[in-house]
Chain A
Amino acid sequence: KQEVTQIPAALSVPEGENLVLNCSFTDSAIYNLQWFRQDPGKGLTSLLLIQSSQREQTSGRLNASLDKSSGRSTLYIAASQPGDSATYLCAVDSGGGADGLTFGKGTHLIIQP
Chain B
Amino acid sequence: AQRVTQPEKLLSVFKGAPVELKCNYSYSGSPELFWYVQYSRQRLQLLLRHISRESIKGFTADLNKGETSFHLKKPFAQEEDSAMYYCALYAGGTSYGKLTFGQGTILTVHP
Partners in one complex: no
